[in-house]
Amino acid sequence: MAERLGERMSKIVAQSQKGDLTVKDDIVVNDDIILRIENVNRSYYDNSDNQVEALCNINLSVRRGEFLSIIGSSGCGKTTLLRLIAGLDKPETGRLTLNGELVSGPDPERGYVFQHGGLFQWLTVEKNIATGLKARHVYRENKEKVAHYIDLIGLKGFEKAYPHQISGGMAQRVAIARALINNPKLLLLDEPMGALDSFTRADIQDKLLELQRENDTTMILVTHDVDEAIYLSDRIVIMTPRPGKISEIMDVKLPHPRHRGGVEFLAIRRNIMEKLDLASALPQPEYSI
């Protein structure tokens, strides 16, 4: 740990000498880094009053405009981490800063898409998407944005439909549009495609990439689907449970659009599977002479 810190410090010193860094208060701000997570710990009590360390000493910097995936088995604290970033929960120690400002609560600049979509059942598709504008009292001057986003997610003709009348995939796209209409700097996605079939999932994945490129939104995706993480991400954070911590951060340097069956894709997949101790589940090749 000390070694790593030392390494980081010397890097920062080197960078600051080149003039890449600006100093604001006592926080080192790099223009390239949008979100800094520093020494974050979070624990909770389970049903039998045992303290469970959900997050243990998490350090992570998220670059502006990147697509970052957090992957790991259930219970490794990935959703907890995402909730901390959203400001829905507070760290016990350490801190999170977005553009140098301390994250202290939920804010429309950090959009959040829930696992189950979470549309308001009593609002139509149109009104669900407009929620953010109405909540911030800027609906009147941005009315046309709603139609734009409905068009963007391919739900034209469904403006007046209620959530129970549309499919799960449509609902999830509405949830994404609803978060994006606020122009968030950061879009947090908590397994938004977990409950969808693979066709709809592929559809939404492509849509996400497209939206990300268009708006230059930084996206953080929590998932347990390795393929999804590789298909979408610039970097993949692998987390391990008990205590929840980051075991490795992996760069995915493949050009888009990525081919899910490509050799490099599969190599990365195998690599991650091994890291997650899932490799043994892969069948061994059989040879017969």
Partner 1 sequence: MHSIFRSYLPAAAIFTARQELRGQKQVSGKEWAFKLVLTLAGFTIAIAANILFKQIADVEIKSYTLAGVLFTFNSLYRLVLGILILLYAAVGLFSYFDPVYRAKYVNRAPFRFALGIALAIWDILGTKLLLLPQPFFPGPAKILEAFLIELPFIYENMLYSLRLFIVGFTLGVIFGIGTGILIGWFPRVYYWLYPILKFTGVIPAVAWMPFALTLFPTAFSAAAFLIVICSWFSIAALTAQGIQSTPKWQFELAKTLGAKTPYLVFHVAVPHAMPQIFTGISNANGFAFTTLVMAEMMGQPGGLGYYINLSKVWSAYYKVYASILVMAILFGIIMKIIAFIRDRMLRWQKGWVKE
Neighbours of 139 (CB within 10 A): 15
Residue 274 exposure: Cα atoms within 13 Å on the Cβ side = 6
- Minimum CB distance to partner 1 smaller for 6 or for 106: 106
In the sheet with 93-98, reading across from the earlier edge strand, the strands are: 51-63, 33-45, 93-98, 101-102
- Minimum CB distance to partner 1 smaller for 79 or for 223: 79
Contact 127, 163 (CB under 8 A): no
Residues 128, 185: Cα–Cα separation, whole Å: 20
Strands 101-102 and 93-98: antiparallel
- Minimum CB distance to partner 1 smaller for 28 or for 166: 166
- Minimum CB distance to partner 1 smaller for 8 or for 136: 136
In the complex, minimum distance from the CB of residue 118 to partner 1, in angstroms, rounded to a whole number:
5
Query: Residue 289's Cα: distance from chain center in Å?
Result: 48
In the complex, minimum distance from the CB of residue 205 to partner 1, in angstroms, rounded to a whole number:
10
In the complex, minimum distance from the CB of residue 65 to partner 1, in angstroms, rounded to a whole number:
19
In the complex, minimum distance from the CB of residue 146 to partner 1, in angstroms, rounded to a whole number:
13
Neighbours of 24 (CB within 10 A): 11
- Minimum CB distance to partner 1 smaller for 67 or for 112: 112
- Interface residues toward partner 1, by CB under 8 A: 86-88, 105-108, 110-112, 114, 118, 120-124, 131-132, 134-136, 151-155, 157-158, 161-167, 170, 178-179, 182, 203, 206-207, 210, 214
Using alpha carbons, select from 76, 85, 93 the residue that is nearest to residue 244: 76
Please report, for residues 258, 262, 283, the alpha-carbon distance to residue 113 in angstroms, rounded to integers and kept in the order given: 24, 30, 35
- Minimum CB distance to partner 1 smaller for 133 or for 276: 133
Structure token pair of residue 250: 């992996």
Using alpha carbons, select from 9, 6, 33 the residue that is nearest to residue 22: 33
In the complex, minimum distance from the CB of residue 84 to partner 1, in angstroms, rounded to a whole number:
13
In the complex, minimum distance from the CB of residue 216 to partner 1, in angstroms, rounded to a whole number:
15
Structure token pair of residue 188: 């947090």
Using alpha carbons, select from 14, 45, 47, 20 the residue that is nearest to residue 33: 20
In the complex, minimum distance from the CB of residue 18 to partner 1, in angstroms, rounded to a whole number:
37
- Minimum CB distance to partner 1 smaller for 68 or for 129: 129
